[in-house]
Amino acid sequence: MKIYHNNMCSKSRCSFEFLKETGVAFETIEYLKKPLTKEELKALLIKLNIPAEQLIRKGETDYLQNFKGKKLSELGWIDAMVKFPKLIERPIIVKGDKAVIGRPIEKVIQLLSE
Active-site residue identified among 4, 5, 6, 9: 9
Q: What is the pLDDT of residues 4-46, one digit of tens each?
A: 999 999 999 999 999 999 999 999 999 999 999 999 999 999 9
Active site residue 9: yes
* Nearest of 42, 18, 40 to residue 29 by alpha carbon: 40
CA 23 to chain centre: 22
Output 81 or 103, whichever has higher pLDDT: 81
Query: How many angstroms separate the CA atoms of 1 and 19, rounded?
Result: 10
All domains of the chain in start order, with CATH: 2-113 (3.40.30.10)
In DSSP terms, which residues pair with 2 in a beta bridge?
A: 27, 94
Collapsing DSSP to helix, strand or coil, 99 comes out as: strand
Q: What is the pLDDT of residues 46-92, one digit of tens each?
A: 999 999 999 999 999 999 999 999 999 999 999 999 999 999 999 99
Q: What global pTM score does this model have?
A: 0.94
Q: What is the pLDDT of residue 29?
A: 97
Contact yes or no for 52/78 (Cβ under 8 A)? yes
